[in-house]
Structure 1
Amino acid sequence: MSTATGTLGVWNIAAQEPERVALVDPDGRSIGYGDLAAKANAYARGLQALGLEAGDVVVVLQPNGDELVAAYFAAIQSGLYIVVVNWHLVAPEVAYILSDSGAKAFLAHERFADVAIAAADEAGIPERGRFAVGDVDGFRRIEELGSGEGDGRPERRTAGSPMLYTSGTTGRPKGVRRPLTGADPDSVPAASTWFFGIFGLAPHDAHVHLCGSPLYHTAVLNFVAISLQLGHTAVLMDRWDAEDMLRLIDRHRVTHSHMVPTQFRRLLALPDDVRAAYDLSSLRVMIHGAAPCPLEVKRRMLDWWGPVVTEYYAATEGGGTAISGEEWLKKPGSVGLPWPGSTIKILDDEGTELPAGETGTVYMKMGDSKFEYHKDRAKTDKARVGDLFTLGDVGHLDEDGYLFLHDRKADLIISGGVNIYPAEIEGELVMHPKIADVAVFGVPHEDWGEAIKAVVEPADGVEPSEELTAEILEYAASRLAKFKLPRSVDYLPELPRDPNGKLYKRKLRDPYWEGHRAP
């Protein structure tokens, strides 16, 4: 498969340009397309030798690195579903995913040995299906997967698919499973080039992608996989660090990345001389999503990096919006217009479409894309109205069709009959210089139903105190209407976020509602 700009597809590029750099591993090693494809072929042959057939599942518990990427492409050319597990989960949570997905093979890493062993035992994964990078008791070394099975591509090749599990902030996670297409794995899906085209990313074109977040996150995995399919080198970070990111951009002439607002805030916190020490002129599009970005943070990033900062709103289940830096300055706070082929509607609680300017639940769809939550038809149906589905976000469309998000419906505070959106309050408070992170939610109140609570992670070197609380509340009063002001402030050393910036707000909120009827 070729275009005017070059060959597409990992195996096609490997055949024509085996020395072309596909990956830069976190340890700085460069891995060519030829070596990456050879490792993916070996793993695919090994999985087929174990008896895995199209539609079966392989689960991976590994940090960012060439081993994980090779496992991904092994599944993608073998008709397998691949589940990349969040390595922050504890053993029973990993065991649940192994069991729920029906995993036939489990590829782990010695960094997570204790969790891998306990999870595999609990889920009953047979020893012949356990492999690990490094030494893990009861697991065969990953080098044995496919050894002795010959060379070249696996005998049976058909397109597989990632099967991503939702974050599970409200109950146990559910796998999002799409039907397999039966396509030739050498043929890059048109949707991949179309999706990158939304952000102005063309095949080849001297592109370099920087991956700074864990590959178990849906968007992060997609961006790396599509980058490689389109001939873009992918530079992998193991653990994200603000200055290290700037160093890698400078060194590898990075053109694009996928980021979250937490990373923006940490970059902005770097001293001016550190920020000025690196050449960032190679940047073309720095894409962010997954969590709300405070308006002031976005403005400061645009001031620093220029209009290369692009935002999107999307879902594992399909569909979304995007907005460029230039557009955002004209529509501050918007997450953009629908992607080509995507539909965005605002519905009320009865499923009736609302006009421009009115607030309701955001529903979307992507063409005729279909999905279901694995083994959970009830959850699938609950998220749908007709052929539209929702993530539970609240927002509105303006007269030009731009989407503005207000908050998660589940996070809405109703105090004295008034709807209050915590994200707006969080966006103001997080700009206080003594606040590193903040979460706002409702807590029980006898008269109002709910009162506004702020839980603050103080900035480095700042100690919680009554004086700090008074200072924060005074700051809030200068920026927010009285009915939006927190009635109390608590403190924690660190708020529970995943590495993609998503806040586990339920973990914070639930203890306050013990013994009460939660909204």
Structure 2
Amino acid sequence: MNATLSLASVLAEQAKRRPDRIALIEGEHRITFGELWEQARGQAAALIALGIRPGDRVALMCPNTAEFPRAYYAILAAGAVVVPVHLLLTAREAAHVLRDSGVTLMVCHPLFAPVGEAAASIADIPCVAPDSLAGEPIPAFVSRAPEDPAVIFYTSGTTGTPKGAELSHLNLVMNATVNAFDANDVRPEHVTLGALPLFHVFGQTVSMNSTWRAGAALVLQPRFDAAEAIRLMVAENVDTFHGVPTMYIGLIEAAARAERLPALRLCVSGGAALPGAVLEAFEATFGAQILEGYGLSETSPSAAVNQPDFGSRAGTVGHPVWGVDVEIADPDLGRAISLLPTGELGEVVVRGHNVFNGYIGNSAATQEAVVDGWFRTGDLGVKDEDGFVRIVDRTKDLIIRGGFNVYPTEVEAALLRHPGIAQVAVIGVPDPTYGEEICAVVVPTESTLPDADTAAGIIEYGREQLAKHKYPRRVEFLNELPLGPSHKVLKRELRLRYAVAHSDS
């Protein structure tokens, strides 16, 4: 008999084991596992009535409200594939996702109806609101094979047209499981703040699916605001927070104005390198340790994280999660994987149960990304003698100044210790002499003036802290850095903006 597996079992099992335990908190709403699973099965019946069949792809455009998990598990329960749509896309961009993935139906929250309905019209598919889906609950979810697709995540498109990364039921069930029970110790009595967007793989797997895999409660925050996040965490006794570095920076700043801070037990950071200064300031402010991890859409996402079993080491992303290998390979070999000795800098490669099926409709990109069973991440890193992995930078963010490699994360980590800098993004801009020059785009602290004297002081500070080829020769000021839907800094936008400004000056 062929094996079956469904990501829907994450919710279905808790509805059996803990039907009366609170699963979801959103504002005044308190929904138990039993109630949520019944609602999801009712929506699954409606989807089936609309003609959705096992293997069909259904788009979901929804913020962090109860409608997202309800529709998400409904789609899975019907045996279909979830295609989350980023909320910041234009109708044209969303239509690309719909057409490229071959979805047959769009489920769109009313708040995003103007974009969702326009995109669905371009793609020539029907669009329905999640609350319009109602029916007599199906008795059980439709079973699937472990390798069948469960969710298709579209990459951010920073290097071109977004590609659809197909993740299987096995990928996502295993990643939720190892996050809950191996990388961390999540228990039913714990409470997680769901502030990361659920349409993104980090929020979906680590915040939602891992939390419910362990039977714990999820408190949703529809849109991240640091002050409101602190209030919510205190009010709902949240003890677990997952975020990206910009969120932790926001929490540190908001803490100074908060009457009371939450008692946090577990904090996980991912999405981008966490500067040491931010880690230290957060731990001093909140009295909680941040465990930094690493992953990508193509790895479900968790590949490595600092874990209690191995100890934590600042500046690293810890050890590979259970059942996964993370190694360093020669970045210059295109169609072969040659692992490098301990301590050498190279490309981070990943293999294991978390590696995706491939990019839909793009076998050439899949063959380029997966070589000899290893997924080539495009990130540069080092693995030390104790097995800790350190991510140096994205290969595309690498700055080559006068023939010397400069890693922006290293420069950013040094500059963030400057008392006048709240946030910083370091980029390379075209330079006629050195090929690229180092530019620091700075969000100053409230008491710091964004003027020429401050810029000169930052350059001098960088000169004192960094090697001659690493410190920024140019400083630009912004009120806020451009962020993507997952709260990562959009460096491509900054490079385009200041490359133009540089050439015009």
Question: TM-score, normalization: structure 2?
Answer: 0.88
Separation of aligned partners in 1, 2:198 and 2:154: 13
Matches within 5 A, 1:475-494: 475-494=461-480
* One-letter amino acid of the structure 2 residue matched with residue 374 of structure 1: I
Q: 2:180 aligns with which of 196, 200, 215?
A: 196
2:245 is equivalent to residue 261 of structure 1: yes
Q: Which residue number in structure 2 is paired with residue 11 of structure 1?
A: 12
Distance 1:328 1:297 in 2: 20
| CA deviation string 1:157-209 (max 9, x = no partner) | 5477122111111112111113556x9xxxx94653333123332452x1211
Residue 247 of structure 1 deviates from its aligned partner by: 2.4
**Superposed displacement of residue 344, structure 1:** 1.6
Query: Hey, what does 1:404 align to over in structure 2?
Result: 390
Greater alpha carbon shift after TM alignment, 299-308 vs 104-113: 299-308
- Contact kept, 8 Å, 2:107 with 2:127, in 1: the verdict is yes
Report the residue type matching 2:75 in the other structure.
Answer: A
Matched, 1:458 2:444: yes
1:135 maps to: none
* 1:467–1:190 CA distance, 2 compared to 1 (3 A): closer
Answer whether contact 1:309 1:324 (CA < 8 A) is retained: no
Give yes or no for contact 1:14–1:34 (8 Å, CA) kept in 2: yes
* 2:77 aligned with 1:60: no
**Deviation digits for residues 420-478 of structure 1 (CA, Å, limit 9, x no counterpart):** 11111112223433333322222222222211122223334655321121121122222
Q: Quick one: which amino acid aligns to residue 85 of structure 1?
A: V
Query: How far does the alpha carbon of each residue in 1:13-55 deviate from its partner, in whole angstroms, 9 at most, with x for none?
Result: 4356543211101x23111223212221121111111111111
Does residue 1:166 correspond to 2:152, yes or no? no
Instruction: Name the residue aligned to 2:359.
Output: 373
> Structure 2 unaligned runs (5+)?
1-8
Structure 2 residue 272 is matched with structure 1 residue 287: no
In 2, Cα distance between the equivalents of 1:15 and 1:341? 28
Matched, 1:207 2:201: no
> Match for residue 413 of structure 1?
399
Residue 119 (structure 1) aligns with: 119
Contact 1:45 1:154 in 2 (8 A): no
- Aligned residue for 2:202? 219
Q: Hey, what does 2:293 align to over in structure 1?
A: 312
1:493 offset after TM fit, Å?
3.2
Change (3 A) 1:262 1:56: same
Change (3 A) 1:484 1:219: same
* Alignment partner, residue 277 of structure 1: 260
Summarize the Cα distance change of 1:53–1:500 in structure 2 as closer, same or farther, 3 Å threshold: same
Instruction: Give the aligned partner of residue 248 of structure 1.
Output: 232
Instruction: Tell me the residue number matched to 1:146.
Output: 134
Q: Is the 8 A contact 2:190 2:216 kept in 1?
A: yes
Q: How far apart are the structure 2 equivalents of 1:30 and 1:38?
A: 14
After TM superposition, give the deviation of residue 11 of structure 1 in Å: 2.9
RMSD between aligned alpha carbons?
Answer: 2.7
Q: State the alpha-carbon separation in 2 of the partners of residues 155 and 297 from structure 1.
A: 44
Unpaired runs of 5+ in structure 1?
Answer: 1-7, 133-141
Partner residue, 1:107: 107
- What residue in structure 2 maps to residue 342 of structure 1? 324
How far, CA to CA, are the matches of 1:323 and 1:218 in structure 2?
A: 19
SS of 2:350 mapped into structure 1: strand
1:322 aligns with 2:329: no
Contact 2:273 2:409 in 1 (8 A): yes
Q: Secondary structure at the match of 1:254?
A: coil
For 1:235 and 1:278, the matched residues in 2 are separated by 16
State the match for 1:4 in structure 2: none
Secondary structure of the 2:465 match is coil
Listed one character per residue, the Cα deviations across residues 228-286 of structure 1 (whole Å, up to 9, x for unaligned) are 24311110001222232222222222232211111211222235462x62341xx3211
